[in-house]
Structure 1
Amino acid sequence: MDARPTSILHRTPWTPPIAIATDGIYIDLEDGRRVIDGIGGAAVTCIGGNHPKVVKALKDHIDVMSYVHNTQLSSHPAEELAKLLVDTSDGAFEQVAFLSGGSEAMETVIKLSRQYYIEIGQPKRTNYIARQLSFHGNTLSTLSLAYHPGRRAPYEAILNHQNFHYVSPAYAKRFQKPDETEEQYVERLRQELEDKFIELGPETVIGFVAETVVGATTGVVSAPKGYFNAMKSVCDKYGALFMLDEVMSGMGRMGTMHAWQSLGDGAAPDLQAIAKGLGGGYAPIGAVLISPKVAKGIRGGSGQLKNGHTYQANPLACAASLAVQKVIIEEDLLAQCRKNGAHMMALLKDRLQSPNALAAPYTFDVRGAGAFFGACCFKNGLIAMGMVGGSSLDGSKGDHLMLGPAYNATTEEIEKIVDIFVKSIEEVLTENLL
C-alpha cells in the first residue's frame, strides 16, 4: 500500500491506492493496474460500475433538479422508488422512509420502533434485544444495539448499556451442541429469547433485532431452518416488534429481493433496514421498510416520521437507486445472482475443501448464496473483504474473508474471481505454514 502523504483521515493505517475508473466488476487504479472488485466495495455495487442505464438516469436528473429538502418537498424519483419497494414486497411493507445509508437506516429502526409504541400508548417499552456477534452500524446507538467487540471497544464507556440487551448468535456451525438436532438448537435459542423477555419484563421490550444473514461480524452466516419464525413467534406473543437488518444481505444479495425470502419460512419483519444494494454504489442511500402494522400505528398517532436528516430522500440518490432497481428487474439479475451463487459455491468447495485441496485443513467452512460469499487478495488483482474474529463471543477468533461480486458478473468472471482467490490462499499457506 502507498505511503504517500494524504489530507484524508482514512479508515486504514495505510494510504489506499487511488481508483480512477470503474467498468463492471473492474476498477482501474492510478498506478496502471486493473483489479477485480470481488466484494463490491462492501457488498454494495450490485450491478457493477458505470452501468449505462444508471449513468443516463443520473445525467438526466441532474439537468432538472439537484436537491430539495424532504420536510418541504418530495420528488418523483423518491415517490416512484418508494412505490416500487412497496409493490414488490408481496404485501410485507406499506411505507418507506429514506435515509443516506445503512447506519442511518438502523438508527431510524431504533427511533421509529420507539415512536411506534409511544403512538399506540405503550411508553414503558424501552428495551431492545439483539444478538452477540452482530453489527448494525457505526453510530453510538447502533454500536450499542450491536455486539461487535472490536468496533465497540474504543467507545464502550459511552455506549448505552441500559436499553440494549443480547442473546446468543444463530451460528450452528460454531455453537450448536454435538447432541442437538437443528430443531433442538432453534428451540434453545427461542427459549433464550423468551427468557430474556421475561427477565426484562415483556411490557418493557420494544423488540428483537437481527441481521437476516450476518455479514462482517461472522462472515455470511445464515440462521438454521425455522429460526426466524421461532424468534418472531416470541415477539408476537409479547406484542413486541420483529426487526431485520438487511443493510448488507438485502436487495438481491441472497438471490431474492429480501434475504428473508430466501429462507423459505415467510418470517416477514415489522421493520426492515436496507441500504448497500439499494443504490448499488451510485449514490448514498438507505431506507426503512415499514409493515402495515407499524404504518397503521403511526397513522393513528402523529402520522409522521419524527426523525429527520438533511439528505433524506435526496432526489439524485433516489433517481440513481430507482435506475439500479429497474436494471435488476429488467435484466433478471436475481436469477443471474442465484446461478452465479450456485456456481461459485461448487467451485469454492471443490478448490478449498476437497480431500486433495491444499487449503482443506485450514478451511473451516465455505458458505453463502447468491452473490454473498466468504473469501480474499489484493496483490494478485482481487479485492475482497477480510475480517478478524467471529467465532468466539469476545470476537478474538475465527478470521474470515468475504466475496460479494456484482449480480451481473459473467460465468467467466466468477471463475476468474475463484481462481485468483484460491491462488492467493495457496500462496499464503505455502509461504507461511507449509
Structure 2
Amino acid sequence: MVLRELDTTREEGGGDHKQAARSSAVLHRDLSYDFLSLSQGEGNYLVLEDGRRIFDASGGASVGCLGWGNERVARAVMKQLMAIPYCSTVFYTTRAQEELCRFLVESTHGHMGRAYIVNSGSEAMEAAVKLARQYFLELSPSQNNRTRFISRRQSYHGITLGALAVGGHQYRRAKFEPILMKNVSKVSPCNPYRGKNPGETDQEYVDRLAKELDDEFQAVGPETVCAFIAEPVVGAALGCVPSVPGYFKAVQAVCRKYGALLILDEVMCGMGRTGTLHAWEQEGVAPDIQTFGKALGGGYQPVAGVLASREVVGVLERGSSVFVHGHTYQGHPAGCAGALEVQRIIREENLLENVRKMGELLSGRLQERLGAHPNVGNIRGRGLFWGIEFVADKATMEPFPVENHVAAAICERGLTKEYSISVYPGTGSADGIRGDHIIVSPAYNVHKDEIEWIVDTLGRLVDDFFGSA
C-alpha cells in the first residue's frame, strides 16, 4: 500500500498558520504550529472557539475518565478553593488530603501503607526513585551501595531529568543524554507483538525475559540495585501493550531474589483505565512502590501521586520518620478534593464495570473493523486503553520511516471537520525511534453507541489516510 503524501503545512509554508503561531506568547510544544483553541468541554466533546465539536476518544493523554463539564467535581473543587486553596505541608494537612490518601490506601487490599500526593506523573516518579533510595539507607547502613535502577527499553516514566533517566524513550532522551544520571540500565520490554520468537510460548517468553533481568542484576552487581521499574500496561512509549500472563510474577521473583524493590508506574494505565482501579490487580502481584496520575483526577485539577507499601513505610517509621523530599504544592487541597470526588463517582456509578464491558466491545469492534487492514500491524490493550500500531508491511512488521510522521498525521487529520475525533499519537513502538501508534482511551462512562461511532470513524479515518477505502 502506497502511503499518500502527508499534509506538510507544519513543515512547509503554512502562511497564516505560521503567522498565528508566531504571534503567541506561549512557549508551546511546537513553536511553528497553530494550535486549536478550546472553548469548553461538554461530556465527551471538546468545543472549539469557533463552535466546532470534537469527540474526545482518548481523554487527552488518557486523562479524561469522566468526560468534561462534570458539575459535581467542579463543585467539590470550588468548595475546597473557598475553604482553603493552599496548604503549607511543612506544618499543616487538610481533610481533603487525608481522605484522598485514606481512600487510596484502602483501595489496595492492605498492600500499601501511605500515599503521597503531587501534581504530575513526572513528579510522582521523581518521588518514587528517591523513596526507593532512602528506603535502603533507612533499612541498614550496609545498603548504602544501592544506587542503581533497572528499567526497560521503549519505556516512558516522565519528562523531568530523574524520570527521563529511568525511562527508555529514545526521542525524548536524546537531547538530554549528557545530563541524565548514568546509574540506570535497561532490559527488553514485554511486547509479544515484536518481542516473541517464532513458535515461542508465553511461558518460554516470560522465562527468557526473567533470565535477561536476572542477568542484568548480575552484570551490574545485585547489591547495587534499588529497584526495577515498569508499567503494567505500557502507555505512550509502546501504545497500550500489556504483559503476557506471568511476566510480573516472574520479574518480582527476580527482584525478591536480590532484595530489590518493584516500582510499578501506573500514571497512564492506572486508576481504573484497564478495568481495575490498579492495573497490578490483574497481574497477581503488588508493587513495593506505585505511581499514579492522569485518571486520578480526570483532568479537573493537576494531581498525581505515589503509594508506598507497608514494608517501605514501616522502615521509614522505624528509622528517621522523615521522607527527605517535598514540593510547595504537594497535597494541594483543590487537587485532592477534585480527585477524591472523581474516585467517588467512579465507585458510586460502578464505572469500572462499564470500563470492562465497553472495553470488550471496543476491542472486538476494533479487531473487526481494522484488524485486517494492510497497514494495521497490531491492536492491543486492556479495559478502555487500546493501541493501534501502523506498519508499512503487515507481513514483515516493517514500520514507516520516521520522517513520515504517520501517527501524528493520522491524529491531525482526525481533528478536521470530516472526522472530528481526537485520539493520541505515539512513536517508537518498533525500535525506540521508528514505529507509529495511536491510543484510544475514552471516558469510563462511554456508551455502546459512542463506541460504535468511535470505531466507525476511526475505520474511515484510517482507510482514507492510507488510501485503501
Which residue in the other structure is 1:429 paired with?
Answer: 466
Which residue in the other structure is 2:127 paired with?
Answer: 108
| Count of paired positions | 422
2:375 is aligned, of 362, 371, 394, to 362
Alignment partners' CA distance in 2, 1:191 and 1:202: 14
Q: List structure 1 segments (4+ residues) > 3 angstroms apart after TM superposition.
A: none
2:301 is aligned, of 283, 286, 291, to 283
Alignment partners' CA distance in 1, 2:378 and 2:94: 46
Deviations 1:120-149 (A, max 9, x none): 121110010000000000011111111111
> Percent of counterpart pairs with the same letter?
41
Deviations 1:375-411 (A, max 9, x none): 542112011111122111xx23221111111101111
Which residue in the other structure is 2:436 paired with?
Answer: 399
User: Alpha-carbon deviation of 1:196?
Assistant: 0.9
Q: Is the CA contact (8 Å cut-off) linking 1:337 and 1:370 kept in structure 2? A: yes
The 5 A counterparts of 1:117-136 are 117-121=136-140, 122-136=143-157
Which residue in the other structure is 2:404 paired with?
Answer: none
Which residue in the other structure is 2:429 paired with?
Answer: 390
Alignment partners' CA distance in 2, 1:151 and 1:212: 21
Which residue in the other structure is 2:73 paired with?
Answer: 54
Q: Which amino acid aligns with 1:259?
A: A
Which residue in the other structure is 1:64 paired with?
Answer: 83
Alignment partners' CA distance in 1, 2:428 and 2:128: 27
Alignment partners' CA distance in 2, 1:381 and 1:61: 35
Q: Are positions 1:143 and 2:164 aligned together?
A: yes
2:220 is aligned, of 200, 209, 212, to 200
Which residue in the other structure is 1:244 paired with?
Answer: 264
Give structure 1 stretches of 5+ with no counterpart.
355-359
Q: Which amino acid aligns with 1:142?
A: A
Deviations 1:28-64 (A, max 9, x none): 0012210011111100111111112101111222221
Deviations 1:269-302 (A, max 9, x none): 0000001011110111111001011011111111
User: Alpha-carbon deviation of 1:91?
Assistant: 1.1
Alignment partners' CA distance in 2, 1:248 and 1:346: 22
Alignment partners' CA distance in 2, 1:351 and 1:65: 50
1:96 is aligned, of 83, 103, 115, to 115
Give structure 2 stretches of 5+ with no counterpart.
1-9, 11-16, 389-410
Q: Is the CA contact (8 Å cut-off) linking 1:215 and 1:221 kept in structure 2? A: yes
Q: Are positions 1:182 and 2:219 aligned together?
A: no
Which residue in the other structure is 1:35 paired with?
Answer: 54
Q: Which amino acid aligns with 2:232?
A: T
Alignment partners' CA distance in 1, 2:78 and 2:208: 53
Given the two structures, how large is their TM-score scaled by the length of structure 1? 0.95
User: Alpha-carbon deviation of 1:176?
Assistant: 0.8
Alignment partners' CA distance in 2, 1:374 and 1:31: 30
Q: Is the CA contact (8 Å cut-off) linking 1:254 and 1:262 kept in structure 2? A: no
Q: Which amino acid aligns with 1:66?
A: P
Q: Which amino acid aligns with 2:376?
A: T
Q: Is the CA contact (8 Å cut-off) linking 1:145 and 1:164 kept in structure 2? A: yes
User: Alpha-carbon deviation of 1:262?
Assistant: 2.6
Q: Which amino acid aligns with 1:181?
A: T
Deviations 1:158-206 (A, max 9, x none): 1112x11111111111011113211111001111111111111111110
Deviations 1:346-401 (A, max 9, x none): 111000124xxxxx211111111211112542112011111122111xx2322111
Alignment partners' CA distance in 2, 1:388 and 1:166: 19
Q: Are positions 1:313 and 2:334 aligned together?
A: no
Deviations 1:195-224 (A, max 9, x none): 111111111110100011101111000111
Secondary structure of 2:116's partner?
strand
Q: Which amino acid aligns with 1:147?
A: G
1:229 is aligned, of 246, 249, 264, to 249
User: Alpha-carbon deviation of 1:112?
Assistant: 0.4
User: Alpha-carbon deviation of 1:232?
Assistant: 0.2
Which residue in the other structure is 2:365 paired with?
Answer: 347
Which residue in the other structure is 2:273 paired with?
Answer: 253
2:314 is aligned, of 273, 279, 296, to 296
Alignment partners' CA distance in 2, 1:272 and 1:383: 29
Alignment partners' CA distance in 2, 1:135 and 1:269: 18
Which residue in the other structure is 2:405 paired with?
Answer: none
Secondary structure of 2:27's partner?
coil
Q: Is the CA contact (8 Å cut-off) linking 2:242 and 2:382 kept in structure 1? A: no
Which residue in the other structure is 2:231 paired with?
Answer: 211
2:448 is aligned, of 396, 405, 411, to 411
Alignment partners' CA distance in 1, 2:299 and 2:150: 31
Alignment partners' CA distance in 2, 1:292 and 1:337: 29
Q: Is the CA contact (8 Å cut-off) linking 2:156 and 2:237 kept in structure 1? A: yes
Secondary structure of 2:46's partner?
strand
Alignment partners' CA distance in 2, 1:340 and 1:239: 40
Which residue in the other structure is 1:357 paired with?
Answer: none
Output the aligned Cα RMSD.
1.2
User: Alpha-carbon deviation of 1:245?
Assistant: 0.3
Given the two structures, how large is their TM-score scaled by the length of structure 2? 0.88
Q: Are positions 1:87 and 2:117 aligned together?
A: no
